[in-house]
Chains A and B, each alone.
Chain A
Amino acid sequence: MKKLLIAMLVMVSCFFGIAGSVGAIQGIKQEPAKTTIARIESVDSATADIKEVQTRLKKWGYYTGNVDGINGPLTISAVKKFQKRYGLTQDGIVGPLTAAKMGISVSSGSSSSSYSNNDRYLLAKVIYAEARGESYTGQVAIGAVVLNRVEDSRFPNTIAGVIYQPWAFTAVNDGQINLEPNETAYQAADDALNGWDPTYGSIYYYNPETATSKWIWSTTYVTQIGKHIFAV
């Protein structure tokens, strides 16, 4: 009986072992790319960096005491003055609203990145997904097309809107957009965001060997970089 159970276990585990490995092969996980994205501005709300608050308030004439990190009467009074000036509740406490007005984030441990870093990340993702086999210039060109679309009235007005517009990019449809971009894709995104556009304003690109849409052939050819033809 014991042998019977062991045999059954072995067979079932073998099946699921094989099934598991197939699944793993199908969903190859890329190593996260080494990136240098954002300086994350967050300050722990518990400590609220009194020195930072005092420094800012002193700079702007609300606080006259020493920058000592002690939340004493002078500091509280200065915070109240600041709150009054900006129409906030005058409780002398540097809560989220007051801190935000001072330019201090109090997201207590959670991180926030700037808009441009999100753009950089999304752009790098679409570049990697659509053109990782292309030359470096070919990768910059894909980023440039996305940015040209953002500026063009015929497309959504944000990078995310353009990339995730239904059916606009194959990589979004087949899920390759979810692969983590590599260092080259990030640098290509930086180039594109800094204005490099080897396609000179193109808003379409296609691979002539695989393009299925008949309409795409009616666009005006601008240039070819690697396998992609860029057009307006």
Chain B
Amino acid sequence: MDNKKITSVDYEEEKNQSQSKKQQDENTKKKSNAQKMIPGLIVVIVSLLIILTCVLIAYYQVYNSGKQNANVLEGVYTSSYYSMVDNVNNLSVDVAKYSTLTTKQAKLNTLQDMMLDCNYILAGLSVLPIDEVNASSATKFFNQVNGLCEAYSNTLYKGENLTQEEELVFDKISLVLGKIKENLNKQNAGMYDAGFNFVDASVFDDTGMNELSAGLGDLSSENIDYPAMIFDGPFSTALETTEVKGLSENEVSKDKAYDYLKNTVYKNREDVKISFDKETNGDIATYDFNVEVDNKQFFAQVSKRDGLLITISGYAETGNPIMKNEQAMELSKTFANNIGFESMDSVWLEIHDNVAYINLAPVINGVIMYPDLVKVKVDLTAQEVIGFEAVNYALNHVERSPEFVVDTDSAEKLLGFDYNVLKISKAVIRLDSGKEVATYEFMVERIDGTYFYYIDANTNQIVKTMKLVSVEGVQKLI
């Protein structure tokens, strides 16, 4: 019984001891685990600190570089703005000066100054972040003033006089400049307040207007009565309406346009699939078709008036050219003649990779009619026409009877020295003003390259000079 008791007590003690030991072990284990975790924690904390430091450095660098970029941009905007303002003032003064001048030379000098002013203003306007509508009206105005001054300079240079009506345009220009200056002054006043920043002010709001545009005031034609300016140059108001002279009033149906494409343009292609796409209502109204030939996609436009092919647009895969240039030219001429463009001859060839762009012009009685230029794109690998363009033909083609009064010897005297005439052709060309002129085209080789001189066959004056840009694959053909 005692033994039993002893045993029971011993057992309890042993149990307690065992539990205590277990507890101790657990504590030791926990302690050991905690001790083991310390280096890990140190790793995590130190790594996080390193990462945080790096992120902060990177952020600072990005922020700093962004700030630097913004400062540089601010400098560009500020410089452009003040340069523009200065030149608007200069132009305003020059216009005022012009009206007081009486001699041709003084007027010529002032017109030259005004052209320079306009160019600086235009450079500034093209950089400033003004919304599109306001910028476009002001840009047009200064482009036109520039063109007008050039045209007037040319007139005075030729020894001719400007009419009273022509001179009066400057009064209208002066009024508009006054309005623009008024808006600029308002903007200037606002800018003297501390904190104005072009970069911040260039962000557009929901209305599409930004603070800068608003500050400059409304420069659009709705607010300023910009005058119509008609002169002998590219930006003349007279050129804003396009007249389609090459097409008759005879309008064809969509079905007829489809038949023309199917049975004339793609006459020999039985696999052609043509589907009507839509109508386009530009200066030349067209029926537009999607065309599929030999798994290649094309887009074709046929004019509503006269039902003439205006455009084929197609892409050539890169490949090795198989067709020779001469064959491509023959193909282009045959193609054009077969679809209704007669008496065409190739006048220009340009090759890019395996694509040939061939310019064709009608040659009537030995005179090249450049205003009626047609362009054909030939895939030299597939050996087929993949593009066609006849907008110029549609706009300009008329029957012409050009006169050639001056002889070529007199014309050649204008070419100066050190040249070798490669070819003389008779040609009708279209000037920037839209006027057509009968000319002698002198293809001339000079020390630094090939030039084309177009000499008016009636006034014996050089009306256009072109230099052949040295690009591989460009050839003048006739």
A-to-B contact residues, CB < 8 Å:
3-4, 7-8, 11-12, 15-16, 34, 36, 38-39, 41, 56, 59-60, 85, 100-103, 114-117, 135-137, 140, 151-157, 161, 165-168, 183-184, 186-188, 190-191, 194-202, 212-215, 221-224, 232
Contacts of B122 in A (CB 8 A): 156-157
Q: Is the CB of B143 within 8 A of A7?
A: no
Task: List which B15-65 residues lie within 8 A (CB) of chain A.
Answer: 39-40, 42-44, 46-47, 50-51, 54
Contacting residue for B132 out of A7, A103, A168, CB 8 A: A168
Q: Is the CB of A103 within 8 A of B447?
A: yes
B interface residues, how many (CB within 8 angstroms): 72
Q: How far apart are A97's CB and chain B's nearest CB, in angstroms?
A: 12
Residue B425 is within 8 A (CB to CB) of chain A in the complex: no
Contacts of A11 in B (CB 8 A): 43-44, 47, 51
Q: Besides A154-B137, A222-B280, 16 other CB < 8 A contacts?
A: A11-B51, A15-B47, A136-B297, A136-B313, A152-B140, A153-B147, A154-B139, A155-B139, A165-B126, A166-B202, A168-B132, A187-B315, A195-B392, A196-B387, A214-B208, A224-B278
Contacting residue for B280 out of A135, A157, A184, A200, CB 8 A: A200
Residue B391 is within 8 A (CB to CB) of chain A in the complex: yes
Q: Is the CB of B449 within 8 A of A103?
A: yes
Contacts known (A56-B447, A101-B447, A103-B447); A153 close to B418, Cβ less than 8 A = no
Q: Is the CB of A39 within 8 A of B353?
A: no
Q: Which of A59, A140, A157, A222 has the most CB of B within 10 A?
A: A157
Contacts of B51 in A (CB 8 A): 11-12, 15
B-to-A contact residues, CB < 8 Å:
39-40, 42-44, 46-47, 50-51, 54, 122, 126-133, 135-137, 139-140, 143-144, 147, 202, 204, 207-208, 234-235, 242, 278, 280-284, 286, 288, 297, 299, 301, 311, 313-316, 318, 350, 352-353, 355, 357, 373, 375, 377, 387, 389, 391-392, 418, 420, 447-449, 469-472
A19 to B242 alpha-carbon distance, docked (Å):
57
Who on chain B is nearest to A168 by CB? B132
Q: Closest 4 A-B residue pairs measured CB to CB?
A: A200-B282, A103-B448, A154-B136, A153-B235
19 cross-chain CB contacts under 8 A: A15-B47, A39-B470, A41-B470, A101-B447, A114-B469, A136-B315, A156-B122, A156-B126, A161-B126, A165-B135, A183-B318, A191-B377, A198-B280, A201-B282, A202-B282, A214-B208, A222-B281, A222-B282, A232-B282
Contacts known (A114-B469, A194-B389); A201 close to B140, Cβ less than 8 A = no
Contacts of B471 in A (CB 8 A): 38-39, 114, 116-117
Binding site of B, secondary structure by majority: helix, strand, loop or mixed? mixed
Contacting residue for B375 out of A168, A183, A195, A202, CB 8 A: A195
Who on chain B is nearest to A196 by CB? B389
Q: How far apart are B219's CB and chain A's nearest CB, in angstroms?
A: 12
Q: How far apart are B42's CB and chain A's nearest CB, in angstroms?
A: 7
